[in-house]
Amino acid sequence: MGYNVKVNDNLKRSVMLGSFAFGIISFILPIYSKRIGGTAITIGGLFSIFSIVTLILRPLIGKGIDRYGRKNFFTASFLFYAISMGLYSYSTNIIMLYVSRFIQAVGSSFMWISAYSIAVDIADNEKRGSAIGQIDGAHAKGALYGSIIGFSVISNFTLISGWSFLFKGYAVLSIIAGYIVYKYIPETRTVNNEKNIGHKVTLNSDFFKLLIITFISSMSSSMITPLLMVYLQDKFTTDIGILATAFIPAALIYAFLPSKLGEFSDKVGRIIPMIIGLTGAGIVSFGFTNLSSIKVLIVLWMLESIGMVMASPAQEALVADIAGEDTLGSIYGIYLLVTSLGAAIGPLFGGWVYESFGHATPFYINGSILLIDAVLVMLLFKNYKIGGNKL
């Protein structure tokens, strides 16, 4: 157990350091892109290209880590991140942003499958939800700390110069994260190439049901992610400090609640947290269309974050529950492929709806889809069992 604790601590530390850029990217990439001439559609494209790359790579990487082990793929992820962050720091036009985003997506394709697989490898079966939640929480903590630093820098520099300085720093942190993995995280998968050659992944009906739900929710949620900042700028203010005030409370929820809510899914099963989380996030999405003040926005954003944080670790742990030990990486690769497919479609569709049918329309669509997804979870998994215990 002590061995696993040390490995888990280094796993979380590396994920956290490698994630410093990701909070500020999700917040400021739309703002920065708009500043250098991007439109709602081109901004949506920056999110879609990320998803398209991961869509192609994740199934291949999933098979690779089952056959060759987790560590090398995990180490490589942070090297790609470092290259991407360095390129971001020199990006002063949309084309360079797309190149940087492409390489970042390659790193993400390597990291998440490896991180989740390592976490499940070293966790007891009854603590998978907590293990997955800790990885999500480590990522969110890094994103939060990076955002706090980022907002401090940008408030004392121009947006362009602050952006350049920040991403050089994030590149250094990614290199440090890769060193931690290389030096302190052992291979957690016993590699046997003869055993793994020709091994087939069996996809059962429960996994297909989960993929349907995953695709719908991923497409819907990713439709909103790049638009929210554009919407807030159009409706309230372009002052980054004020927008950051609204962003940070939700970021705190993503940073510190995933492991606790992951434990909740270990105790009550995966299905109940998924239903509650999707329902709550869906209802809150309708509220974004009637914002009257930044204070109301903060409350709604926090509630929406709680819903998504409750649903995500349960859903990701359910993947591990369904997968066999020998095909864990491949199953996660397929799961994240479907996530990427939804995330590739969502931003472009959202940008088109936002410009064509009004600023509130994507939020209505998102709320409706998440509520439908909650009903699907209830219907498709009402009799789902693992080890004889109804979830």
Residue 283: CATH number of its domain: 1.20.1250.20
* CA gap 12, 350 in Å, rounded: 33
Residue 218, in any domain of the structure: yes
Q: How many distinct structural domains can be found in the chain? A: 1
**Quick one: pLDDT at residue 87?**
95
pLDDT above 50 for 130: yes
Helices 361-380 and 328-357, interaxial angle, to 10°? Answer: 150
Poorest-confidence range of 108-112, 119-123, 302-306, 382-386?
382-386
Residue 294, in any domain of the structure: yes
Poorest-confidence range of 95-104, 216-225, 267-276?
216-225
What would the pLDDT profile of 137-149 be if each residue is shown by its tens digit?
899 899 889 988 9
Both tokens assigned to 260 = 């606790």
**Quick one: pLDDT at residue 201?**
55
* CA gap 136, 21 in Å, rounded: 15
Element (H, E) at 273: helix 271-287
**Quick one: pLDDT at residue 193?**
46
Note whether 18 and 115 are within 8 A (CB).
no
Whether the full predicted model's pTM is greater than 0.85, yes or no, is no
Residue 197, in any domain of the structure: no
Residue 176, in any domain of the structure: yes
Residue 199, in any domain of the structure: no
**Quick one: pLDDT at residue 99?**
93
The percent of residues above 90 in pLDDT, for the chain, comes to 28
What would the pLDDT profile of 149-194 be if each residue is shown by its tens digit?
988 888 788 888 888 899 999 999 999 999 999 999 998 876 544 4
Residue 51, in any domain of the structure: yes
Q: Could you tell me which residues are beta bridge partners of residue 390?
A: 385
Residue 92, in any domain of the structure: yes
* CA gap 270, 248 in Å, rounded: 28
pLDDT above 70 for 354: yes
* CA gap 376, 283 in Å, rounded: 16
Helix residue spans in 89-204 (DSSP H) = 94-122, 128-156, 159-184, 193-196
What would the pLDDT profile of 97-120 be if each residue is shown by its tens digit?
999 999 999 999 999 989 989 998
pLDDT above 70 for 200: no
Give the residue numbers spanning the domain of 292: 2-188+204-390
Going by pLDDT thresholds of 50, 70 and 90, the confidence category of residue 127 is: confident
Going by pLDDT thresholds of 50, 70 and 90, the confidence category of residue 86 is: very high
Going by pLDDT thresholds of 50, 70 and 90, the confidence category of residue 264 is: confident
**Quick one: pLDDT at residue 277?**
92
Q: Tally Cβ neighbours within 10 Å of residue 312.
A: 23
Q: Which residues contact 41 (CB under 8 A, 6 or more apart)?
A: 348, 351, 352, 355
pLDDT above 50 for 275: yes
Element (H, E) at 390: strand 389-390
Q: Diameter of the chain by CA atoms?
A: 63
Residue 198, in any domain of the structure: no
Residue ranges with strand state E in 238-315: none
